[in-house]
């Protein structure tokens, strides 16, 4: 998303349930309520997930990456002065983005995978910026079995959102990968990750790099 009005509409959308669910699952996967390391957020969008992460782990720091300048701008504008010291936003597209750290203690991502023309770029970046013990936590959409099913999901979960967001959600559902496609991507990347379908439209991927 490069259109500022579209980005603002996205930032104001009601993602309380899926984003809250993601953070709760991330907490379980991380397994350390006192986490004080450095996190990498891939595809941070307007910054809601990394803000939630920073609030959950007040001793942590986060490098948050997105390929859309409009997203980064909105994310920075909405950040409180307290969190500005702990979240550093970076503009860049995978796999060419250059990150400040050689590795991260946790790498997480919500709803980036289906935006990538080559999904292996995300898995390659994860491999490059992880080390033994790095936690990986990913959530993304799953492609419905038909366009009719996609439209039902839009009506069910985004029926009260602006039309531009309904269309964006519909397009994202159709662009998403199937469970088997994602499983094969992980195998091809050689990553020791578990994959689980957690709703009619979401997949959750997690693991620890050996």
- In this prediction, the residues of the chain whose per-residue pLDDT falls under 70 are 1-15
Beta bridge partner(s), residue 148: none
pLDDT of residue 161: 86
CA angle 119, 121, 19 (to 5 degrees): 65
Euclidean distance between CA atoms 142 and 45, whole angstroms: 19
Q: CB neighbours (10 Å) of residue 43? A: 24
- The predicted pLDDT at position 6 comes to 65
| Cα gap 183→89, rounded to integer Å | 30
Q: What is the pLDDT of residues 102-149, one digit of tens each?
A: 999 999 999 999 999 899 999 999 999 999 999 999 999 999 999 999
pLDDT of residue 201: 95
The number of CA neighbours under 13 Å toward the Cβ of 126 is 32
User: Domains along the chain?
Assistant: 4-144+178-208 (3.40.50.150)
Q: Which two tokens stand for residue 131?
A: 């080390």
Tokens standing for residue 52: 């939630």
The pLDDT assigned to 101 comes to 97
pLDDT attached to residue 86: 96
Cα separation of 113 and 143, whole Å? Answer: 12
Residue 11's pLDDT is what?
54
pLDDT at 157: 92
């Amino acid at each position: 998303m490069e259109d500022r009005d579209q980005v603002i509409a996205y930032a104001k959308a009601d993602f309380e349930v899926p984003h809250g669910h993601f953070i709760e699952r991330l907490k379980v996967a991380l397994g350390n309520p006192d986490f004080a390391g450095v996190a990498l957020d891939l595809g941070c969008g307007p910054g809601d997930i990394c803000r939630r992460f920073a609030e959950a782990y007040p001793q942590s720091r986060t490098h948050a990456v997105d390929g859309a300048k409009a997203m980064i701008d909105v994310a920075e504008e909405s950040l409180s002065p307290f969190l500005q010291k702990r979240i550093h936003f970076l503009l860049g597209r995978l796999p060419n983005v250059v990150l400040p750290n050689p590795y991260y203690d946790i790498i997480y991502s919500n709803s980036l995978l289906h935006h990538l023309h080559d999904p292996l770029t995300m898995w390659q970046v994860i491999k490059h910026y992880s080390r033994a013990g790095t936690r990986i936590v990913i959530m993304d959409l799953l492609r419905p079995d038909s366009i009719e099913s996609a439209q039902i999901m839009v009506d069910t979960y985004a029926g009260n959102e602006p039309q531009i967001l309904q269309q964006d959600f519909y397009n994202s559902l159709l662009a998403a990968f199937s469970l088997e496609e994602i499983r094969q991507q992980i195998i091809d990347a050689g990553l020791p990750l578990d994959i689980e379908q957690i709703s009619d439209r979401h997949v959750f991927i997690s693991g620890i790099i050996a």
